[in-house]
Amino acid sequence: MSYKSCTDYIRNNDFIGAKERFDKSYTNWRKHWFDTCYEIATRNPQYFEKYLFNEEELTIIKVKVVVKYTDTAPSHTYLIDLLNEKEEKVFTKVGKADIVDKRLNQILRKGYREAEVEDVNILKVFDLPSDDLAEALESLIKYYIKKNKNVGYYPQDRFTPFIPSVEDYEEFERLYNLILSVA
């Protein structure tokens, strides 16, 4: 049984066939087939819209964008610091709410009494056209913090306190613009 070579796939612009070979390849051939898929994608830019290429981890992920609009009311994703009575940071929290002030009052009244939270400092609020998009942005920001910051994670979307850097805010803004481009 003979297989097509990478040049055959490139010559025929057969991304799907090359991707199948990439998916089935052993680790010593993975880079070879990744490069083949990437070269075909550079010749056909529509593949960059459908797939994410990560050269460091040698992964090709199919992008599925499924957004259901169940509401049209504006919603918000927020990043806040929860403070104790001495104004020291207790947690940094990511969340979403339709009305941010109302949600923050709920947090102060009954949210985190065991942690002695007395005040809230708003770091950033993102306005989004729907609750689904706010939830998507919240998930992306949580994933970014878990992956790139060396902080502990607690239930209810809380992290050990940290000070977001300029790069963090730029990444949050990039994620926000990405979510808005889908809307």
11-47, pLDDT tens digit by residue?
Answer: 999 999 999 999 999 989 999 999 999 999 999 888 8
**Calpha distance 134→99 (Å, rounded):** 12
Q: Global pTM?
A: 0.58
133-150: pLDDT as tens digits: 899 999 999 989 988 888
- Say whether 5 sits in a helix, a strand or coil: coil
179, 128 contact by CB (below 8 A): yes
Per-residue confidence at 5, pLDDT binned at 50, 70, 90?
Answer: confident
pLDDT mean across residues, the chain: 86
**Calpha distance 141→138 (Å, rounded):** 5
Supply the pLDDT for residue 132: 87
Report in angstroms the alpha-carbon separations of 61 from 11, 23, 34.
Answer: 23, 10, 12
